[in-house]
């Protein structure tokens, strides 16, 4: 199985960031969805809105088990700009994912495209992170997005009743929590 980092870079470049890729059928009312599959892994991105939007990305492993996710909320700060104008600044910046040393959850640290400057400040790693993305036009902040996410783990409580009944007097009970990757 390819690494999560490599898969995220490939998936992000083959979904929303790539203006030539078509949306998938909506998974929920009013959602805009993108999906990418490779080597038994699935990436799904669903978002709602336009100039103000929220969304979620999830990576599934071989058996449709969610293993990684990110939530995000973005807002256009300049009311004169429409979704198409922001897309023209945002999509090329997001195509820079994996081009520098930060984790590949949005674009690179900085990308300049004409009058637009994209920045992404993120802390953490793919297991747990928080980030803020900004777009400036002629040094005026016009867009902001906050995101957070990381590794998804299922947990369950396993009760293991073991023991030996000796003359009905001895009983041993063990309780433990297990974490699955």
Which long-range contacts does 41-44 make (Cβ < 8 Å, 24+ apart)? 41/1, 41/2, 41/7, 43/7, 43/8, 43/11, 43/12, 43/15
Tokens of 161: 């009743």
In three-state secondary structure terms, 9 is: helix
How many CB atoms within 10 Å of residue 1? 9
142 vs 81, residue with greater confidence: 142
pLDDT for 159 equals 57
Contact 138, 115 (CB under 8 A): yes
The arithmetic mean of pLDDT across residues 148-170, rounded, is 65
Comparing 66-70, 100-104, 136-140, 169-173, the range with the smallest average pLDDT is 169-173
pLDDT for 65 equals 94
142 to each of 80, 91, 115, 136, how far by Cα in Å? 10, 15, 12, 5
Contact 57, 97 (CB under 8 A): no
Beta bridge partners of 177: 157
Q: pLDDT tens across 19-28, in order?
A: 888 889 888 9
Contact 118, 93 (CB under 8 A): yes
Using the predicted structure, report yes or no on whether residue 150 has a pLDDT greater than 90: yes
Contact 17, 8 (CB under 8 A): no
Q: pLDDT tens across 8-50, in order?
A: 999 999 999 988 888 898 889 999 999 999 989 999 999 999 9
DSSP 90: H
Does this model's pTM top 0.95? My answer is no
């Amino acid at each position: 199985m390819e690494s999560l980092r490599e898969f995220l870079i490939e998936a992000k470049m083959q979904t929303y960031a790539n203006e030539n890729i078509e949306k998938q059928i909506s998974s929920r009312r009013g959602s805009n969805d993108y999906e990418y599959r490779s080597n038994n892994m699935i990436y799904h991105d669903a978002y709602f809105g336009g100039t103000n939007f929220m969304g979620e990305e999830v990576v599934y492993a071989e058996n449709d088990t969610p293993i990684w996710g990110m939530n995000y909320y973005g807002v256009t700060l300049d009311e004169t700009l429409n979704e198409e104008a922001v897309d023209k600044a945002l999509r090329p910046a997001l195509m820079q994912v994996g081009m520098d040393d930060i984790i590949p959850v949005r674009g690179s640290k900085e990308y300049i495209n004409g009058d637009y400057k994209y920045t992404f400040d993120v802390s953490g790693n793919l297991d747990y992170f928080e980030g803020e993305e900004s777009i400036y036009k002629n040094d005026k902040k016009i867009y902001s997005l906050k995101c957070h996410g990381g590794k998804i783990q299922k947990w369950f409580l396993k009760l293991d009743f073991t023991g030996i009944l000796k003359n009905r007097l001895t009983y041993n009970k063990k309780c433990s929590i297990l974490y699955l990757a």
